[in-house]
Amino acid sequence: MTLATLRESIQAESTIPPTSQHLYHNGRLISDDAQTMEQHQIKDGDMLALHVRDMRGSTGVPEQARRPQPRRRGANEQDPELIRLQILGQPAVRAQLQRQHPELAAAVDNPARFAQIFHDSQDREQRERMERQREIERLNDDPFNVENQRKIEEMIRQERVMENLQNAMEHNPEVFGRVHMLYLDVAVNGHNVKALVDSGAQATIMSPACAEECGIMRLVDTRFAGVARGVGTANIIGRVHSAQIKIGNLFLPCSFTVMEGKSVDLLLGLDMLKRYQATIDLAKDKLIIQGEEVPFLGEAEIPKEEEAAIVQEPTLPGPDGTTIGQRSGAVLPPGEQQQQQQQQRQPAAAPPQPAPVAAPPTASAAPPAAAPAQPAAPRIQISPQAIESLVSMGATREQAIQALQAADGNADVAASLIFF
């Protein structure tokens, strides 16, 4: 740190201009602003003396009246200049601040701007705490009101949740990164497919469109049709008992369950992985099968359907203007979600449409046939006791209702869907 930087730091803290600052080290005046502290032979722990001299000359106006008073800090308030110097000396902390508070990180080289943003943030947090405290005091005026006590309990719970979120973002920021799925380049019946490796799926699943493209739809045994139940339901068209799949340099026989309602073309399930004793090596980022090491696809090579799902993911407001994905838990900087949504809304250039051919005149136009009304799906009766039991375990009311509907009202199955 140079002497000029030190003078700016003193100005940010005390509003004393650099021209009025006379710094002394061991009784020696320090004047070369371009040299660093080491070049001035100033070591850690040494004491510097500051002599303030009014360069404008003395007037009848007192010194304190001419110079604005510095902002007074409370007993527990942190020194922004000390924090700024710590950030400048630790690149890892600066990178973390860039992710969590981009506006504050951009002003780290400007002491006055950094102090202003820091104080504004602290003042805003202080106002929010005071508002919450006043609300709690107002609700405590009627301590026997059950509804007021519930509101107080919810406010305290939300405060603990935000505190837990802040601690996680500070000490474990990696948990908010987006994790992409594991995809492989494979070939089924000579047709190239990007396959999702899912050790949590019981069977290897293929979509009907992919089965048509691979030319194996004619081999589907419809006697194995049915309904797959999990978080939701999906129709099973049938099963292809054996078809050739190429993984790396290996040609292996594999069975496929053709199922509707899946967004991926091909999903390698546990039946395939256990049959050939495959190993998912995350350290090497490879799938090891029959001694063959097949690398997983990079982020830029995965199917675009996953990116579209990320853009459409619901989010929650996070600290300092960030947003957090409800499903992935990924943290987006301020404004990035709006940019992604705008890019998603931009319509692609549509191909030119051929001119419509005029239909021959007819004697009378038949009225359009009314579409047959679809029968409404029967609603599952959910007991309030089951909802309350899941809420008491830590789930939200919406999560409890959705899980109970997927589990046909079974509270134990719904709890396993939420928490496991």
Q: What is the mean pLDDT of residues 392-408?
A: 78
Q: Give the catalytic positions in this structure.
A: 198
In a domain, 395, yes or no: yes
Q: Is residue 195 part of a domain?
A: yes
Query: Could you tell me what percent of the chain has a pLDDT over 90?
Result: 22
Which of 93, 107, 116 lies closest to 13 in space, CA to CA? 116
Coil, strand, or helix at residue 142? coil
Residues of 89-105 as b/e, b for ≥16 C-beta within 10 angstroms?
eeeeeeebbeebbbebb
Q: What is the pTM of this model?
A: 0.48
| Among 250, 261, 98, CA closest to 169 | 98
Nearest Cα neighbor of 230 from 272, 271, 269, 202 is 202
Q: What is the dihedral of CA 173, 175, 180, 183, to 10 degrees?
A: 120
Q: What DSSP letter does each residue of 79-128 carry, written as one string?
A: -HHHHHHHHHH-HHHHHHHHHH-HHHHHTTT-HHHHHHHHHHHHHHHHHH
Do strands 48-52 and 226-230 pair parallel, antiparallel, or not at all (unpaired)? unpaired
pLDDT mean over 225-250: 87
The count of domains in the chain is 2
Which of 244, 272, 298 marks a domain boundary? 298
Q: Give the pLDDT score at 250.
A: 93
End-to-end CA distance of the chain: 52
Q: What is the mean pLDDT of the chain?
A: 77
Q: Which residue has the tokens 């405590």?
A: 140
d(CA 3, CA 19): 13
Considering the domain boundaries, does residue 161 fall inside one? no
**Is 88 within a domain?**
no
Check whether residue 190 and residue 293 sit in a common domain. Answer: yes
DSSP H stretches of helix in 206-249? 208-214
In angstroms, the Cα distances linking 60 to 53, 57, 140, 203 are 16, 10, 56, 90
Q: Under DSSP, is residue 227 helix (H, G, I), strand (E, B) or coil? A: strand
Provide the CATH number for the domain around residue 222.
2.40.70.10
Query: Which residue has tokens 């191909």?
Result: 351
Q: Which of 36-45, 191-200, 219-228, 242-251 has the lowest mean pLDDT?
A: 36-45
Final residue of a structural domain among 268, 298, 328:
298
Q: Which residue segment(s) compose the domain that 224 sits in?
A: 183-298
Task: Quote the pLDDT of residue 366.
Answer: 40
For 259-297, the pLDDT digits (tens) are 987 778 999 999 999 999 999 999 999 999 999 999 999
Q: What is the pLDDT of residue 65?
A: 43
Length of the chain equals 420
Nearest of 295, 297, 224 to residue 256 by alpha carbon: 224
248: in domain = yes
Residue 166 lies in a domain: no
Judge whether 245 lies within some domain. Answer: yes
Q: Which residue type does 340 have?
A: Q
Is residue 96 in a domain?
Answer: no
- For 121-135, what is each residue's pLDDT tens digit? 888 888 888 888 888
Name residue, tokens 């109970």.
404
> What are the two backbone dihedrals, phi and then psi, of residue 250, each rounded to the nearest 5 degrees?
-100, 140
Q: How many CA atoms lie within 13 A of 146 on its CB side?
A: 0
Identify the pLDDT of residue 346: 52
On whether the CB atoms of residues 356 and 122 are closer than 8 A, the answer is: no
287 and 389 within one domain: no
- SS3 (DSSP) at 243: strand
pLDDT of the residue at 348 = 43
State which amino acid sits at residue 403.
A
Helix H or strand E segment including 384: helix 384-392
Higher pLDDT, 208 or 392: 208
H-run or E-run covering 28: strand 28-30
Distance CA 306, CA 327 (A): 13
> Residue 241 has which token pair?
């008992």
Residue where one domain finishes, among candidates 245, 271, 298: 298
Is residue 356 scored above 50 in pLDDT?
Answer: no
What is the predicted pLDDT for the residue at 135?
84
